Amino acid sequence: MSRHRDVRNINVAGKMFQALGNETRLISHSHSDELDDGAVSDGGEEDLSPQEYEQLMSGLDHIRATVGSQEQSGLSDKEIKDTLYHYFFNVEQSINYLLEAQTRKIAARERKAAKEREKAEKLAQQKKAAEASAKLPPAKPKKATGAKLSGASTPVRSTDIRQLDLAGLNLDDETVLPIDEPPPKITVAREKVLEEARKQLEGNADKKTVSLVVIGHVDAGKSTLMGRLLYELGRVDDKTRKAHERASSKIGKSSFSWAWELDGTTEERERGITMDIALQSFATPRRQITILDAPGHRDFIPNMISGASQADCALLVVDAAVGEFEAGFERGGQTREHLLLVRSLGVSQVVIAINKLDQVQWSQARYKEICKLLRPFLIQSGFHPSKTKFVPVGAMAGVNLVARDGDEAQALNAWYSGPTLCDLLDELEPPTRDLDAPLRFPVANVFRTPSSVIAVSGRVCGGLVQVGERLRIVPGDETAVVKAIESEEERLEWAAAGSNVTLHLTAVDPRHITIGSVLCPPTDVVPLVTSFTARIIVFDIQVPITAGTSVELFHHSRDVPASISKLLATLDRASGTVLRKNPRVLAKSMSAEVQITLRSTTVSGPTARAQPIPLEPFSVNKEMGRILIRRGGETIGAGIVTELN
């Protein structure tokens, strides 16, 4: 049984979900078409066709007959008309709705009998205003379709439904309108934004955005390659380069000068090692690429995981020097572990840059040998051969990154005529994004901008986020308002699933946001769990997993202590059918269903209680449902969350 079959198997569920997503998207499209027709002629009764006007008036009469006059019912003509419009002149539905609204109003009035009349009137006005603002300008017809649209794509809840829900809870006092309600301007824009985002993802936009994590064994030359690539593409100017060259040779580490562009901290520079993710971006002719330069050292794999969970594709850098490649590729080397990690985190495309070929005199034999060694492992790990590309490079000299000219490249030109690294990156395909899902934004970094605004960076994992939106911070009871969205030093109005952005937040104390928090809409909050069921694949491990094994659980940028509390069943790797219930141990390369329980981080002993973390099943949000399990500095398994308990 090979590993890749199983990974693919996991993906089947994902694809089905995707397919489902597409369907809903289609539906919503047809709606938005309707919507556009309607939108042309909006603005009030004046714009109604004569028939519609007649329908409206007769409907009004009908309803008045049922509910009584304005004094009796407390319902104004305008309200009735709006409702009628909302339900496409369907009298029955409108009456139902109005009666509901009426009883609600009465209930509210009775509750505050003491302060009553004036207040109740104000309330009614407020309510009217609420309805009006929700439906307002270019809005009335749009609102109606908007509501339907959200009905089709279940996860999104439109404002309309939310209002009804709130009303159902009898929350109608002064705070009828939760302050959480985004201003009307935004609600309207949302539809447009959705469309715009969709358009961009469908390829009508000039450049598709892809995020790329750079992985590989320690000292393979990841940061150097990136530094050089940024320079070749003009993202680093000569002045900075010279400054780095001077400073690095000053401390006797001139060979790291290219990496200094990404390794910013003093400690990283002193040790000549990347310790945390560095985020940079550049543009190729057809792609806008965000790179996440990951650390290769095994102690910093938690940081690497945090980076890899924000990426669509991977660039694997391997060292071609004799002995070095082997060291990275053998058991315990990071070449292997990183590849498995990114695959488990849903990355399916990988470009393999075979670096430092200059150290083996650009030997074609060596290049071929390395490709031959890597290929079976890639297939085994679940990378499709058509989605893995190899390219020989020399990072230090900048050979075959963007171009292959100059003296240094002569030796390579003798046998290689394929694409350059940049050409390959230009062909990366962004995966499908889930726009209809509710917003999920796992925070990878919290900091203050130079102007002292609280900023969080990370990747939008589903849905979209807009400027002005109020977001809930999970875990915790706090909310924050998005003040600005920044990506590659540009201000954006919105950001959709799959983009790596920095959000500037206001109206929040930074103590409530930590690395690992998830931002989500207040109406659709991520569940918090301390225990869940997951389907995992066990990696190549020496010591088997028993029930009770203490592990570290990785989910996006968060890592928490956990234990595998129950081994529920071992599964067939290919078909997923149950092989054995309640197995005693899990040995290497098994597939199994297990229950994972978080452990307390604060106290040990019988009274300890664990803090829950935000998590969602894979079937709900793919990116939020992937987990990694490590033990003793070694990744022992990867999996997907099937059920929260």
Residues that bind other proteins (CB under 8 A): 261-262, 264-268, 271, 275-280, 297, 299-300, 302-303, 444-448, 475-476, 509-512, 514-515, 517, 542-544, 546-550, 552, 559-561, 563, 565-566, 582, 584-585, 587, 597, 599-609, 611, 630, 632-634
Output the smallest distance, CB 507 to other proteins, in A. Answer: 17
Output the smallest distance, CB 460 to other proteins, in A. Answer: 18
Output the smallest distance, CB 302 to other proteins, in A. Answer: 8
Question: Using only C-alpha atoms, what is the Rg of the chain?
Answer: 29
Q: How far apart are CA 322 and CA 412, in angstroms?
A: 18
Output the smallest distance, CB 280 to other proteins, in A. Answer: 6
Cα separations in angstroms, 423 against 283, 404, 418, 426: 12, 12, 9, 5
The tokens for 335 are 């070449």
145 vs 303, beta carbon nearer other proteins = 303
Output the smallest distance, CB 632 to other proteins, in A. Answer: 5
Output the smallest distance, CB 180 to other proteins, in A. Answer: 21
The tokens for 422 are 């940049």
Name residue, tokens 């690095």. 248
Output the smallest distance, CB 303 to other proteins, in A. Answer: 8
Output the smallest distance, CB 236 to other proteins, in A. Answer: 10
- Cα 192 to chain centroid, rounded: 21
Q: How far apart are CA 142 and CA 549, in angstroms?
A: 55
16 vs 585, beta carbon nearer other proteins = 585
Q: Number of H helices and number of E strands within the chain?
A: 18, 26
- Residues 534 and 473: beta-carbon distance below 8 Å: no
Q: How far apart are CA 645 and CA 642, in angstroms?
A: 10
SS3 content of the chain, % helix, strand, coil (to 5): 40, 25, 35
155 vs 476, beta carbon nearer other proteins = 476
Output the smallest distance, CB 475 to other proteins, in A. Answer: 6
Q: How far apart are CA 310 and CA 459, in angstroms?
A: 6
Output the smallest distance, CB 538 to other proteins, in A. Answer: 12
- The single-letter code of the amino acid at 595 is Q
28 vs 280, beta carbon nearer other proteins = 280
- Per-residue burial over 126-158, b if 16 or more Cβ lie within 10 Å, else e, is bbeebbbbbbbeebbbbbbbbbbbbbbbebbbb
414 vs 543, beta carbon nearer other proteins = 543
DSSP for 28-63? HHHHHHHHHHHHHT-SSGGGS-HHHHHHHHHHHHHH
111 vs 588, beta carbon nearer other proteins = 588
181 vs 559, beta carbon nearer other proteins = 559
Closest CA to 320 of 356, 351, 368: 356
Which helix (DSSP H) or strand (DSSP E) does residue 569 occupy?
Answer: strand 558-571
DSSP for 426-438? HTPPPPP---SSP
67 vs 628, beta carbon nearer other proteins = 628
507 vs 608, beta carbon nearer other proteins = 608
111 vs 566, beta carbon nearer other proteins = 566
Beta strands in 432-540 (DSSP E): 441-448, 454-459, 464-466, 470-474, 479-487, 490-492, 494-496, 500-506, 518-520, 528-529, 531-538
112 vs 235, beta carbon nearer other proteins = 235
Beta strands in 298-423 (DSSP E): 313-319, 349-355, 388-392
Output the smallest distance, CB 1 to other proteins, in A. Answer: 19
Exposed/middle/buried for residue 554 (C-beta within 10 Å: 0-12, 13-18, 19+): buried
Output the smallest distance, CB 453 to other proteins, in A. Answer: 13
272 vs 419, beta carbon nearer other proteins = 272
